Amino acid sequence: MTHIRFRPVLPTVQDFVSAEQPDLPVHCLRPAVLTRSAEHFVEAFPGSVLYAVKCNPDPAVLDALWAGGVRHFDCASVQEVRLVRRLLPESAIHFMHPVKSRAAIREAWEWHGVRDFVIDSAAELAKVLQETRGAFGELGLVVRLALPKGGAVYDLSGKFGAEPGEAVRLLRMARAVAHRVGLCFHVGSQCLDPAAWERALTRAGRVLDESGVDIDILDVGGGFPVSYPDVEPPPLAAFMAAIVRGVAALDLPAACELWCEPGRALVAAGQSVVVRVEGRRAGHLFVNDGIYGSLSDAGAPGFRFPCRLIRTGGDPVADETTAFSLFGPTCDSADRMEGPFLLPADAREGDWIEIGQLGAYGTSLRTAFNGFDEALRAEVRDPPLLETPGYAALERAA
């Protein structure tokens, strides 16, 4: 279990580091960025936005997204259901994990008012019906459709989803026993191709035509990308336009609800992590967080993140930059992040590095491996290291 200690709100990350001289990694939360990102996405999407809680379950993050207009939450465990229901009692919670324990289904249904459940097999359908006692008048069943392997950074095609023929069968079965029925899919995380949603919607349309089922919900999933130093995705409007075109080509009932499940797109820019340099060896910096902490995506997946050096005490910083790699604090030699992290050439022990775009999974993937499970959290008001479209537009409007 990780331990994160809270600190007061300060204007900037530099202010926090100068005042605290932190020995531990610091999660720097930017609630205003989160709220504005949520407002931007909710305004752009022509349906209900379900935040994928697994991406960052920090209560302050959930509060900031609620302030930005998010009212629906995609939960993948009963622990997430409990958290959202406790913090945001008026929220709509949807249990979007296709394979759930019986106890989780029962608690979500009986204690937390969850009425929508995703399924991708007849066995899961039977399980949900048994644990909800076949409550036809309230139950919502959403069939997850499998997609072929695509070009997303994180491919999600291998674990969940019913193949088209099975999806047809499940839709017909669900229609006979549920109050409302839906179809969903997921193109994969950090998907840079808007056309991926159109292709998925075409596949969904064929399944719906064959099933003959009039659905109440069509869920286009998550996967909406964000910027990194070597990645500039198309604008959000391009993804929305692709979805609108794909949906328009389907013969959906007029009352069918459109859902999506963004995670990274809502929260990536809203948090950075500050690490301290504990040593240097040529072009490698040893820092106090790593792949078993906040920087999992900088390890094997090879994400590059924006970064900057912070030095206190008034000493100058070199103008020349060097491409560094980072070693995390554990004894595992795999705890390495190639980057490159472009930093001043004179980076040294005792400096700090702020690494941005870590609102997505930076908190939720932390572990206690080797005892490096402590961190600080501060709320700051300075802008993110990479400009985000929603934040920038709203700042200009203000």
Q: What is the spatial distance between Cα 106 and Cα 279, in angstroms, rounded to a whole number?
A: 51
CA 346 to chain centre: 35
Strand-pair category, 307-310 with 352-355: antiparallel
Give me the tens of pLDDT residue by residue for the chain, a chain 398 residues long: 456 666 567 789 999 999 999 999 999 999 999 999 999 999 999 999 999 999 999 999 999 999 999 999 999 999 999 999 999 999 999 999 999 999 999 999 999 999 999 999 999 999 999 999 877 789 999 999 999 876 656 666 678 899 999 999 999 999 999 999 999 999 988 999 999 999 999 999 999 999 999 999 999 999 999 999 988 999 999 999 999 999 999 989 999 999 999 999 999 999 999 999 999 999 999 999 999 999 999 998 889 999 999 999 889 999 999 999 999 999 999 999 999 999 999 999 999 999 999 999 998 999 999 999 899 999 999 999 987 665 554 454 44
Structure tokens at 315: 């000493």
- pTM as predicted: 0.93
Of 264, 329, 253, 341, which is closest to residue 291 (Cα–Cα)? 329
Q: What is the spatial distance between Cα 272 and Cα 28, in angstroms, rounded to a whole number?
A: 5
- Biggest CA–CA distance in the chain, Å, is 72
Q: Is the bond into 89 cis (omega within 30 degrees of 0)?
A: no
Of 144, 84, 87, 143, which is closest to residue 114 (Cα–Cα)? 84
Residue 142 β-bridge partners: 118, 182
Domains and CATH numbers, the chain: 3-29+268-393 (2.40.37.10), 32-266 (3.20.20.10)
Mention every residue, 6+ apart, whose C-beta is less than 8 A from residue 260.
Answer: 45, 47, 48, 49, 50, 219, 220, 221, 222, 224, 243
Distances (CA, A) of 44 to 114, 158, 246, 287: 26, 30, 16, 39
Q: What is the spatial distance between Cα 306 and Cα 289, in angstroms, rounded to a whole number?
A: 16
CB 190 within 8 A of CB 154: yes
